[in-house]
Amino acid sequence: MDRRLFTSCLALGVLAAQLAKAQQARKTYQIGYLALGSRTDDGAPPAALRQALAQLGYVEGKNVTYVGRWAESMRARLPALAVELVALKVDVIVTETSGAARAAKNATSDIPIVMALSTDPVGQGLIASLARPGGNVTGMSDNAIDLSAKRLELLKEAVPTVSRIAVLWNERDSAMTQRYREIDRAAQALGVSIQPLGVREPDDFERAFSAMNRERPDAMIMVTDVLTNLNRKRVLDYAEAHRIPAMYEFASFVREDGLMSYGPSDDYLFGRAAVYVDKILKGAKPSELPAEEPTVYHLVINSRTAKKLGFNIPQSLLLRGAELVQ
């Protein structure tokens, strides 16, 4: 009897394991997405994230669905939107910007959170460290503070005669202010002066432009957050109209006729975020997945814009493998 009972229990155990595996294979995961910016045209998370997950075997409508929430640049909306995603019992929340990650973390300690883009997550208390995040948050740190100095160096190399550089940033955002301060620190070492142009709302851009009209800078750096991104066309148009060489953080600005950018691509950041999501859905704990800083950076220069501004792209930058937008 004991042997028969043991054999029966063993068979039932094997059957239960097979059923559990089959259920897991049939499970449709729900991935939440929380961003400070504007809703996408199709109401879905960024295509780069979905495409990266598709390459990992997640087929929309078959084994994965997406639900997104966008704060439309209103930071105060993030906490309520995070609560909505938690109430939907999504399997994982992907966040864009540190503010979105913080809102999600405040809303849940159980649902895993993957940062697709976050500035200084350790300093902001989102994770304990890059190596050991702890808690339910992990993902990508954009390393933007350190990159700020590098962007200034590249701009100085592109325009060697530059002496005054305007810096446009959202001074209401502490993370963006950290980037500005790093640029200011690096400027002292390079022997150039900084013209600070902090903005807090859309009307402030005209004030910043007026300041540059009074004291023309030799070049400009725009620190990118939701506010400056939403007003990027005004900045791009001003830089072109006044023939001011400008450095941006993302290649998308260069493809919209900005002069140059240096940093990781959105495809890279969302691709890495997808890897985190995949590992978590397969059972990994966020606390045990080290957070990452980008390892791939791109220098992108718009040669057409350079011609409009009337200067040649230095050979030293071309030799670095800069991508040229024609």
| Parallel/antiparallel/unpaired status of strands 298-302 and 323-325 | parallel
Q: Is 166 exposed, middle or buried (0-12, 13-18, 19+ CB in 10 A)?
A: buried
Reference 314, options 153, 175, 163; nearest CA is 153
**CB contact at 8 A, 311 and 245:** yes
What tokens were used for 68? 């997104």
**What distance in Å separates the CA atoms of residue 136 and residue 288, rounded to the nearest whole number?**
9
Number of C-beta neighbours around residue 155 at 10 A: 24
**CB contact at 8 A, 139 and 115:** yes
**CB contact at 8 A, 198 and 181:** no
Number of C-beta neighbours around residue 143 at 10 A: 18
**CB contact at 8 A, 114 and 139:** yes
Classify residue 167 by its DSSP letter: E
Residues of the chain with CATH 3.40.50.2300: 28-142+267-288, 144-263+298-325
Q: Is 220 exposed, middle or buried (0-12, 13-18, 19+ CB in 10 A)?
A: buried
Number of C-beta neighbours around residue 51 at 10 A: 13
**What distance in Å separates the CA atoms of residue 285 and residue 269, rounded to the nearest whole number?**
20
Written as tens digits, the pLDDT of the chain (326 aa) is 455 555 555 555 555 555 445 444 568 999 999 998 888 888 889 999 999 999 999 999 999 999 999 998 888 999 999 999 999 999 999 999 889 999 999 999 999 999 998 888 998 899 999 999 999 999 998 878 889 999 999 999 999 999 999 999 999 988 889 899 999 999 999 999 999 999 999 999 999 999 999 999 999 999 998 889 889 999 999 999 999 999 999 898 999 999 999 998 888 999 999 999 999 999 999 999 999 999 888 999 999 999 999 888 888 888 877 788 87
**What distance in Å separates the CA atoms of residue 124 and residue 193, rounded to the nearest whole number?**
29
Task: Determine the pLDDT at residue 22.
Answer: 46
For the packed helices 174-190 and 144-158, what is the interaxial angle rounded to 10 degrees? 40
**Fold of the 28-142+267-288 domain:** Rossmann fold (3.40.50)
Q: Which CATH architecture has domain 144-263+298-325?
A: 3-Layer(aba) Sandwich (3.40)
What tokens were used for 155? 């701009």
Kind and range of the H or E run holding 114: strand 113-117
